[in-house]
């Protein structure tokens, strides 16, 4: 069964550093998403991406965040100048109907 | 605004039936999803309703009433491995017409022997 692949599975970073989270969506999907889940809280929408541009973003997705599709397969989330409160699971999802989620990247900012 | 409510935690016994309720208020409804999430893992798709009524899928069924803003997930013949969080999520058009999922806080189900 096709799956969404995310790397790395875990990332520890110093406060103030930049991180890039990587995702390989399912190959024939056209809609891509990033969600995050702070420990013990609900899954929150960050951004959706279609046709090589952002289609919608939440209030969380401020200038600290950016997304890119640098080639035909990868989809990345960059977080600049990380803060302690950015510690969370970050899920990539792709869709042609229902969202299929990747296994997530656990980001810990110390 | 958008609001999705579901109970925080439920307990049930192996072999029993449990119903997890979800009520929602969103601006651009385009379907309701149920996901299962084990601790530290990604949500996995269980069911999808866009029209009123019951969708059955093996031991899992999901019901939707759009006029009442209400859904439930029914789990039959509970197994220990069903202990997980169950997430209710509404697909919302949003302001741009593109669709995103808006999640409830999840219901943690504990199945005991």
Are A3 and A92 a contacting pair, CB within 8 Å?
no
- Judging contacts by C-beta atoms under 8 Å, the chain A residues touching residue B98 are 31, 48, 50, 55-56
Residue of B40, B99, B103 lying closest to A43 (CB–CB): B103
Quote the tokens at residue A48: 């959706």
Is the distance from CB of A91 to CB of B42 less than 8 angstroms? Answer: yes
The confidence score (pLDDT) of residue A1 equals 78
Question: d(Cα A36, Cα A15) in Å, to the nearest integer?
Answer: 18
Name the token pair of B3: 């609001």
A99 shares contact with chain B (CB less than 8 Å): yes
With an 8 Å Cβ cutoff, is B94 touching chain A? Answer: yes
Question: For residue range B71-87, what is the model confidence (pLDDT) as tens digits?
Answer: 999 999 999 999 999 99
Cβ contact, residue pair A56, B94, below 8 Å: yes
Alpha helices in chain B, H assignment, sequence order: none
User: B27: pLDDT confidence band, cut at 50, 70 and 90?
Assistant: confident
Per-residue pLDDT tens over the stretch A67-77: 998 887 899 99
Residue A101's pLDDT is 95
Which segments of chain B are extended strands (E)? 3-5, 9-13, 18-25, 29-37, 44-49, 53-57, 60-65, 70-75, 84-92, 100-103, 107-112
Q: Tell me: pLDDT of A59 over 60.
A: yes
């Amino acid at each position: 069964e096709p799956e969404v692949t995310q790397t790395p599975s875990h990332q520890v970073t110093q406060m103030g550093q930049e991180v890039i989270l990587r995702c390989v969506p399912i190959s024939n999907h056209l809609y891509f998403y990033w969600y995050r889940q702070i420990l013990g809280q609900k899954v929150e929408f960050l951004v959706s991406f279609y046709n090589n541009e952002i289609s919608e973003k939440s209030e969380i997705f401020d200038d600290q965040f950016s997304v890119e599709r640098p080639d035909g397969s990868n989809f990345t989330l960059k977080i600049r100048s990380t803060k302690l409160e950015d510690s969370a699971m970050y899920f990539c999802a792709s869709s042609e109907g229902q969202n299929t989620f990747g296994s997530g990247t656990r980001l810990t900012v110390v | 605004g958008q609001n999705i409510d579901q109970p925080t935690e439920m307990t049930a016994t192996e072999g029993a039936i449990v119903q997890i309720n979800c009520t929602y208020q969103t601006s651009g409804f385009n379907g309701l999803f149920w996901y299962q999430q084990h601790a530290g893992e990604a949500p996995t798709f269980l069911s999808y309703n866009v029209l009123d009524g019951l969708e059955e899928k093996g031991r899992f069924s999901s019901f939707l009433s759009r006029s009442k803003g209400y859904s439930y997930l029914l789990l039959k013949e509970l197994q220990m491995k069903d202990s997980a969080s169950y997430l209710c999520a509404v697909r919302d058009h949003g302001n741009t017409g593109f669709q995103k999922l808006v999640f409830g806080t999840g219901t943690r189900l504990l199945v005991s022997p």
